[in-house]
Amino acid sequence: MNDLALKLGFVPLLDAAGLVIAEAKGFFAAEGLNVELVREVSWATIRDKMALGALDGAQMLAPMPLAMTLGVAGDPVEMVAPIMLGSGGATVTTASRLGLAGDRSGEKLARLVALRRGAQASELTFGVVFPFSTHNYLLRLWMARGGVDPDTEVRITVAPPPRMAELLAGGVVEGFCAGQPWSAAAVAAGVGEVAARADDIAPGAPDKVFTVTRVFADARAGVLTSMLRALDRALAWAEAMDNRAELAAILARPEYVGVPAEVLAEGLGDLTLHRGGAARPDPAHGAWLLEQMVRSGQIGVRADAADVAARVLSPALYDAAVA
């Protein structure tokens, strides 16, 4: 047993379910772990606290541990992502007044951008949750597919996920790409419509991961194994359809996501947590994310990209824990 106090960070999103359920259903405790979940307001806070050692582990956007390992926009901190927390939860949501519902190809957006350019109107503004996020890459891919240059024909700004629906309602942004339940919240409020979902743009794209530093993984291997067992069990529980109503009720608590259970239930349909081996890290996902970083101009082409992807998203720790 590992009777150890741990601080694990999360951002209020549906794909925090693995961490939340592992705590709420006693899966961490069953492994002898005394876990305190720390709700954070933004991904930048998660990144900074992980780099400083103020958190022992955290939910992260899948590209974040790669960016931290490479030292992009900060000092390098070698990270490990030994278990996936979710995929498929990201959604491009646009203001209802734009009429872009169901615009999976981005062609409606392209026509709207051209009309606004001809009328010398201001550029449309879209929100993403963090520069190093699958959401940023999905949004850019969606725009490019329709013929819109995301660097010159629109504005892309960064805001915390819980603020997206509010910013859309206030007209600060005309659209956003974020994880659930914030798209479902915007739709429920009547201010947003779903233009495209993650699987419309890049099926199976990784979204969230659980991360620790390489130093933690090496120094506390037994503790990490216990955490991975608890998280894998929690993800399997959360994926089961028979548990979805209880899952939504737990996530709705103010200390977790704090959104009505019926809104959460609506967003859960977009999410893959465990089925089909979804919790197992895949270096190919890391390679795809590094390609998107190159595509968006965040990094240059790297000869060691495959090695970096294999180090950060190696399945070895997961396989050893759940075998």
**pLDDT, tens digit, 9 for 90 and up, residues 207-250:** 999 999 999 999 999 999 999 999 999 999 999 999 999 999 99
Q: Phi first, then psi: what are they for 84, rounded to 5°?
A: -85, 145
Sheet holding 33-39, edge to edge: 33-39, 4-10, 57-61, 206-213, 79-87
Same structural domain, 79 and 94: no
- What is the predicted pLDDT for the residue at 270? 83
Of 144, 174, 201, which one is at a domain's C-terminal end? 201
Of 177, 201, 225, which one is at a domain's C-terminal end? 201
Same structural domain, 178 and 213: no
**Domains: count for the chain:** 2
Domain that holds residue 293: 4-86+206-322
Same structural domain, 221 and 317: yes
Same structural domain, 214 and 186: no
pLDDT beyond 90 at 267: no
Same structural domain, 121 and 258: no
What lies within 8 Å, CB to CB, of 120 at 6+ separation is none
Angle at 164 between CA 295 and CA 239, to 5 degrees: 80
**pLDDT, tens digit, 9 for 90 and up, residues 101-155:** 999 999 999 999 999 999 999 999 999 999 999 999 999 999 999 999 999 999 9
Question: Contact 211/64 with Cβ under 8 angstroms?
Answer: yes
Mark out the alpha helices in 53-206 (DSSP H runs): 64-70, 107-118, 134-146, 164-169, 182-188, 198-201
Q: What is the CATH number of the domain that holds 250?
A: 3.40.190.10
What pLDDT band is residue 7 in, cutting at 50, 70 and 90? very high
Angle at 7 between CA 183 and CA 253, to 5 degrees: 40
Same structural domain, 81 and 103: no
What pLDDT band is residue 269 in, cutting at 50, 70 and 90? confident
